[in-house]
Structure 1
Amino acid sequence: MIPGTSVLRQVPAWQSQLARAITEPAELLAAVGLGEEWLPAAQAAARLFPLRVPRGFVTRMRPRDPHDPLLRQVLPLAEECLTAAGFDADPVGDLAAMAVPGLLHKYRARVLLTVTGACAVHCRYCFRRHFPYADANPTADRWHAALGYIAGDDSITEVILSGGDPLTLSDRRLAELVRQLETIPHLRRLRLHTRLPVVLPERVNDELLAWLGDTKLKTVIVAHANHAQELDGPVRAALARLKAAGAELLNQSVLLRGVNDSIEALADLSEALFDAGTLPYYLHLLDKVQGAAHFEVDETAARRLMQELQARLPGYLVPRLVREVPGGSGKLALT
């Protein structure tokens, strides 16, 4: 090597793919074969909440079908621009539960870190689409305030990494954070809530598996798939690698009108998840965030679907139907 030069670090493949995500409505519409009549509304809604979707996820969508369940989750629609009564910017009370910037302490024995505001995909029903990530940044002081809070409360046994999506951070930064968490003696579990293994399975690389398999904390990964169509071969392989690294795999879904609000869609999802080594965990009623009212399924219809699901599937394949209530002591189970 020539003196004074350095070896350039190779960008991981998943980061390259993340950087190439579709962010323009016109490009998404062209990719799925929809006409320009969809463009004005998509552009207006994307000004309120930007579009982002990995190209690999788009390839799983049915072409020329505006009702495709994967497309419906990411395509900005005119309904997002309407103001809906009972829907607001902080539907689950995140801001009231913020003990220090980026650390939410809602429930006994566990805290949640919004480690980043970045996501690989911008789900149009996202309950944090209005979250003030710039003002709630736990990395501003290299995690010191958050780590100090956790260390100072020995009732906390579990830390949840969320966001955004924690797996949009580099493995170097994640491994550094986990090493610091491991020094807190009363911590037992590390939980990651992430959509990346589903929408960008290339993220499950050797570097991620190395630190994940090396931590002394019991690790739980909560994936987020809403429809069986999301679970293609690369996704199943990524989930298998996570499981082989010692992580417990759970899935949480959101009950979404036009996406999975049928007994067939829910049953197929549970079966596909279990085949992929992942246990159906929660089925959330929609958090009432402004801009997502068109996804809402009312509680009566949701309970009816759950009764049908319980009659069709063994109990271990039936997720718990839950709602998040601001200020509550935990998820409110509805079945």
Structure 2
Amino acid sequence: MIQRTIPTWQSISWQEELSSLITDPAELLERLELPESLLESAQKANKLFPLRVTQSYASRIKPGDVDDPLLRQVLPLGAELTSPASYTADPLAEQSFNPAPGVIHKYHGRVLLISASQCAINCRYCFRRHFDYQTNTPSRAEWQEALRYIADNESIDEVILSGGDPLAVSDRQMQWLVNQIAVIPHVTRLRIHTRLPVVLPNRITSELVDTLVKTRLQCVIVVHINHAAEIDEHVHNRLKILKKANITLLNQSVLLKGVNDSASCLVSLSKRLFSCGILPYYLHLLDKVTGAAHFDVDEASAIALHNHLLATLPGYLVPKLVREVPNAASKTAVYGAEHNLGYTNN
């Protein structure tokens, strides 16, 4: 039996929790009272893409339930060991849009900075599970190169911090980076794509909020929540701190088989998000990354689910159904019959 004593996540700092992640499949299975028969395949898949789960996220997973929607997002499975030929290590061809270390520039007017190489949890469907973070984790000198790239391109008015997870960096590093971006006059918006407010809610510190509130940049945080059960009371309260600071909150989800591929799940998610001050933004079809084929939901089923949302929810609670297509000028909308029929929702 694994003997490991860790203070409860409620009583430690976010940095301490980040350093006490569950990384051993045997520990996760034991903690959640899951069958030992899952261990061998979990250990094999773990070698391809390491297990990382926070204590707070694990506390929301129902013990003994192999089909728990939160568990399915983090538990390595034998299904990851084989993939169809159409699944690749770089499904979005991001290597083609990597003009400087840490920079991905795919779309007009906005550029993405890889501001951290790690996440607090490793989502098993992550499209960057094979990304070369070693050459895209800039040193301070390389950060200056990335910032010069932005400063020299006046068409860029929005900088997106991504990763990894950008909130995995310290408050001090975040403040430095935000200040460096803010001195570039043609940049007006800062967008942060993050999962940490959900999987590591203690990361929402007063120092972080001060940095985002005091900058001249308009700040948008796009969280990544796939299921309403990911939002417990603590997550809800931390998200409300951001909302009260007048930071725009949006959510993007991935449609995942066995996680949220039902109308009731998606409706509940939209309503729960709005209760936290978050507007649903995107519902992504799965990016075809090697190791994630078992999460795929076919397009016809996705359209049917989206049509149900359109018929059930007010328009502001319906995320756009999209996919990412390499070399496209933007996210590509996925439409059903309602688009051609002039369907409207209010």
TM tier, smaller: over 0.9
Unaligned runs of 5+ in 1: 1-11
The residue number in structure 1 matching 2:70 is 70
Counterpart code for 2:213: G
| 8 Å CA contact retained: 1:103, 1:138 | no
Question: For residues 275-325 of structure 1, what are the alpha-carbon distances to aligned partners after superposition, in whole Å with 9 as ceiling and x for unaligned?
Answer: 110000000000000000000001111001101111111111000000000
Counterpart code for 1:314: P
Q: Counterparts of 1:136 and 1:212 in 2: how far apart (Å)?
A: 24
The residue number in structure 2 matching 1:202 is 202
Instruction: Single out whichever of 204-213 and 185-194 deviates more from structure 2.
Output: 204-213
Question: For residues 143-164 of structure 1, what are the alpha-carbon distances to aligned partners after superposition, in whole Å with 9 as ceiling and x for unaligned?
Answer: 1111000000111000000000
| 8 Å CA contact retained: 2:213, 2:245 | yes
Shift of the alpha carbon at 1:109?
A: 0.3
TM-score by length of 1: 0.95
Q: Counterparts of 1:215 and 1:244 in 2: how far apart (Å)?
A: 16
Question: For residues 71-122 of structure 1, what are the alpha-carbon distances to aligned partners after superposition, in whole Å with 9 as ceiling and x for unaligned?
Answer: 0000000010113220000001111011111101100000000111110000
Q: Counterparts of 2:210 and 2:55 in 1: how far apart (Å)?
A: 27
Counterpart code for 1:96: S
| 8 Å CA contact retained: 2:34, 2:64 | yes
The residue number in structure 2 matching 1:303 is 303
Q: Counterparts of 1:16 and 1:324 in 2: how far apart (Å)?
A: 35
Counterpart code for 2:266: L
| 8 Å CA contact retained: 2:101, 2:142 | no
Q: Counterparts of 2:192 and 2:139 in 1: how far apart (Å)?
A: 17
The residue number in structure 2 matching 1:215 is 215
Counterpart code for 2:58: V
Shift of the alpha carbon at 1:139?
A: 3.0
Shift of the alpha carbon at 1:142?
A: 4.8
Aligned Cα root-mean-square deviation (Å):
0.9
| 8 Å CA contact retained: 1:167, 1:196 | yes
Q: Counterparts of 2:312 and 2:139 in 1: how far apart (Å)?
A: 46
Unaligned runs of 5+ in 2: 1-11, 336-346
Q: Counterparts of 1:194 and 1:139 in 2: how far apart (Å)?
A: 21
Question: What secondary structure, in the 3-state scheme, does the structure 1 residue paired with 2:96 have?
Answer: helix
Question: What secondary structure, in the 3-state scheme, does the structure 1 residue paired with 2:160 have?
Answer: strand
| 8 Å CA contact retained: 2:227, 2:265 | yes
The residue number in structure 1 matching 2:260 is 260
The residue number in structure 1 matching 2:102 is 102
Counterpart code for 1:291: G
The residue number in structure 2 matching 1:3 is none
| 8 Å CA contact retained: 1:115, 1:139 | no
Question: What secondary structure, in the 3-state scheme, does the structure 1 residue paired with 2:221 have?
Answer: strand
Shift of the alpha carbon at 1:48?
A: 0.3
**1:103-118 paired onto structure 2 within 5 Å:** 103-118=103-118
Shift of the alpha carbon at 1:140?
A: 5.2
Question: For residues 180-208 of structure 1, what are the alpha-carbon distances to aligned partners after superposition, in whole Å with 9 as ceiling and x for unaligned?
Answer: 11110000000000000001100001111
Identity across aligned pairs (percent)?
Answer: 55
The residue number in structure 2 matching 1:128 is 128
| 8 Å CA contact retained: 2:83, 2:292 | no
The residue number in structure 1 matching 2:294 is 294
Counterpart code for 2:174: L
Question: What secondary structure, in the 3-state scheme, does the structure 2 residue paired with 1:76 have?
Answer: coil
> What is the total number of aligned residue pairs between the two structures?
324
The residue number in structure 1 matching 2:158 is 158
TM-score by length of 2: 0.92
Q: Counterparts of 1:280 and 1:158 in 2: how far apart (Å)?
A: 20
| 8 Å CA contact retained: 1:54, 1:120 | yes
Q: Counterparts of 2:54 and 2:210 in 1: how far apart (Å)?
A: 25
| 8 Å CA contact retained: 1:138, 1:145 | no
Question: What secondary structure, in the 3-state scheme, does the structure 2 residue paired with 1:143 have?
Answer: helix
